[in-house]
Each structure stands twice: as C-alpha cells, then as structure tokens.
Amino acid sequence: MTRLHVSAGSEFGVHNLPYGVFSTEGTARRIGVRFGDAVVDLSATLGGDDLAQPTLNAFMAQGRDRWIEVRRQVTELVLSDEVDEGSVHPIDSVTLHLPIEVADYVDFYASEHHATNLGRLFRPDSEPLMPNWKHLPVGYHGRAGTVVVSGSPIRRPNGQRRVPDRSEPEFGPSQRLDIEAELGFVVGVPADGPIGTDDFAEHVFGAVLVNDWSARDIQAWEYVPLGPHLGKSFATSISPWVVPLLALEDARITGPVQDPEPLPYLRERRSWALDVDLAVRWNGQVVSRPPYSSMYWSPAQMLAHTTVNGATSRTGDLFASGTISGPERDQRGAFIELTWGEAEPVVVDGRERTFLEDGDEIVIEGSAPGPDGSRIGFGDVRGRVSGG
C-alpha cells in the first residue's frame, strides 16, 4: 500500500479527478482517473460493473448520484495511504484511448466573434451574422464515427474545391487545412424528449477539449445550402480526459448579455457559461489563447435547443461549442480567422504560415479555475498532419 503524491500547483489535483480509458502493454482497456502524473485504475480499486468497462458509457449512464458517490470514493482513495501500488500507473507508461463511445455528434457555432469573423470572410457583401444567430444556437450534425482520441494521426483529406474564374471544380488534397479549438460536452443520462436548461447537470457528465479539423477549400465549395459535410467529417479529435461537470462549479460565470432575450426554453436561471482558458500550440509555439468565457450561447442552451423538438438523446452524445474566438486577434481559435483568410500570416518556426502543412502538430490545452485557487486541467488534445 502506498500514498499518492501530487506536486503543488498541479492541474490534476484532488479537485479535478478527470476520467479516462487506458491500457498498459498487453492489458485490456479500462477506466482510470488521473491524479497528478499518475493514472489510478478504478476497476481494480473501486469495483462495480459500470467501472469494469472499456468506455465510460455504462458509468455515465448511471446518473448524478452515482457520479457523486464515485467521485467521493476516488477523493478518499487518492488522499489515503492505502492505494494498491499495482493499481497506479505513471502517466508516461499508459496508452490513452477514446474515453467514450460516441453516440451522436453535434457541432455548434456559439461564438459571436467567430461567427462574425467567418461571416465577413465567407460572405463579405452581406451582414456577417445571419438573422437567426441571436435567436438560437446554430449547429449541424457531425460524424460520430470519426471522433478520435488525442494523438491519432490526421490524414489530409481529399475533396472538391473551387478554382478561381472557372465553373468546374478540381479534386485533390485539401490545400487549406485548418483547426477549430472547441470545448465538447458529453451526455451521460439520456432523455426521451426535451432537456431544459435547469436539468443540464442531471444529464451532462463532463467536458473535453475538441479540435474540429476543417478543410476550408472543401467546406467553401460544399456548404451551401445544407452546411458542412466532407470538409469536417474526416476527423474530430478529443482530449483523453473527461473533466466531470462536478469539478467545474468554480468555473461557472455569467455569460455575455443576450440581446434580444432568447425564447423561454433557452433561458437559464443560472448560466452554465464557463471560464475555461484554451491555448493553441502550432509546432510547440502558442499562437492563440481562445477564452471560452466569451461564448454567446452556453452548453445548457445548446442541449436544450438540440432536444426541444422532442428528439431523444443517448448516452455518449457529444456536442461541441464551435470555434472559440475572443475579441482580440490572438484569441481566435481557427487559422482562417487568425490569419484573416491568409492576408495576415502568423510566424511559426521563423516562417510565415497560414494553413497546415504535412508534419505540423497542433496541441490545444485548457484549464479552468477550481476551489482554493487551484486549476482544473483538461490536459490537451493533439494531432499531427500527414499526407493524404
């Protein structure tokens, strides 16, 4: 038996305790909790059928009382001196897997700064925000089957793109491969109809970092009138650690004023706006720091909107915020915005850059305020681009 140690200032202290799925060489996938630089094997220490699983879905489906109970048990365990050494693995010794079996995946467009910037870039001759934008969180259905865990290689997609001054498109590898830095939310307890904003925490288990890889040339040609398709569906990366909503109480803030006031089903008694700071590293260099606190629509509003028509939900449903962009240039969460459609390149590795080249690695990090001055780390979501 041993006592676990965590360094002062760790973003994976006792107030965080995010869940993931890991394996060690020659062993099966199983659920673990990150504490400091270690992964604690929950199936070996706590037991329970819902924890002896290769994904978090069965545990997430149990509901908030079970989430609170397991979190209490894990807290007690990591603070005790009774942890079985065989159940503790250094973070460098494990392989991390996709933590959830993704049911459906919906991606929103909830940043006013991002939507305004993209409107100006894609439709320079009209109002940047569509008339619906401040009345509902705009979103589209993405592809659940190509959600991959951080570290998975990202192959450059092929597709059609417009050729200037020609009516016929050409086909080939995307030449405008981009990122979108986002926050994603995972449904634990489904419903057979609407989930009101007040019931958000009864249904949503936790949050992950998301990189919604985007091929802008494919997207620009295909997206009218039905929205993104192949420009997005080739890969969406998520972080391996799911930060429980229970760890984010101190990150709750009041969101931006919503004017006009949204319809009653989108109103919140207390906002689920969250103060999460992201950073985007391009080949190691921080090029942007998108603030989730600046998002117009909250995740509770997104889920309420997704279900208000009566659509059922499922355990493992993932919905993401859309690109997070703040008001400043160095707060933009996509390179098309950061470089203003290639007009204002950024310098990476001493060279002017706009879109991704083969071999580039993108790492998106995130953290939020926790109790007693602590930080709640989301870890990171990373991916390296390879040729198509």
Backbone angle region of 63, left / alpha / beta, with phi > 0 → left and psi within -120 to 50 → alpha: left
| 360: contact with Ca ion by CB under 5 A | no
For residue 15, which amino acid is it? H
Residue 279: how many other CB atoms lie within 10 Å: 16
Q: Which residue is nearest to Ca ion (CB)?
A: 212
> Residue 139 or residue 196: which is nearer to Ca ion going by CB?
139
> Between the CA of residue 131 and those of 103, 136, 200, 297, what are the distances in Å?
31, 10, 27, 16
> Residue 247 or residue 287: which is nearer to Ca ion going by CB?
287
How remote is the C-alpha of 125 from its chain's centroid?
A: 32
In the complex, what is the shortest distance from the CB of residue 15 to Ca ion, in angstroms, rounded to a whole number?
29
Of 114, 141, 203, 305, the active-site residue reads 114
In the complex, what is the shortest distance from the CB of residue 215 to Ca ion, in angstroms, rounded to a whole number?
12
Q: Which of 11, 104, 107, 222 binds Ca ion (CB under 5 A)?
A: 107
**Which residues have C-beta within 8 Å of that of residue 374, sequence separation ≥ 6?**
11, 13, 15, 16
Residue count of the chain: 388
> Residue 101 or residue 107: which is nearer to Ca ion going by CB?
107
Q: How many CA atoms lie within 13 A of 50 on its CB side?
A: 13
Q: Which of 212, 222, 365, 380 binds Ca ion (CB under 5 A)?
A: 212
114 assigned to active site: yes
In the complex, what is the shortest distance from the CB of residue 322 to Ca ion, in angstroms, rounded to a whole number?
5
Q: Which stretch binds Ca ion (CB under 5 A): 196-204, 243-251, 316-324, 353-361?
A: 316-324
Three-class DSSP category at 269: coil
Binding-residue total with Ca ion (CB under 5 A) = 4
**Which residues have C-beta within 8 Å of that of residue 122, sequence separation ≥ 6?**
220
Segment 163-192, which members bind Ca ion (CB under 5 A)?
A: 180
Q: Which stretch binds Ca ion (CB under 5 A): 248-256, 261-269, 301-309, 320-328?
A: 320-328
> Residue 180 or residue 222: which is nearer to Ca ion going by CB?
180
In the complex, what is the shortest distance from the CB of residue 125 to Ca ion, in angstroms, rounded to a whole number?
24
User: What span, in angstroms and rounded, lies between the C-alpha atoms of 376 and 275?
Assistant: 11
Closest CA to 340 of 163, 125, 130, 122: 122
> Residue 107 or residue 112: which is nearer to Ca ion going by CB?
107
> Residue 214 or residue 307: which is nearer to Ca ion going by CB?
214
In the complex, what is the shortest distance from the CB of residue 107 to Ca ion, in angstroms, rounded to a whole number?
5
Three-class DSSP category at 93: helix
Applying CB under 5 A, the residues found at the interface with Ca ion are 107, 180, 212, 322
Which active-site residues does the annotation give?
114
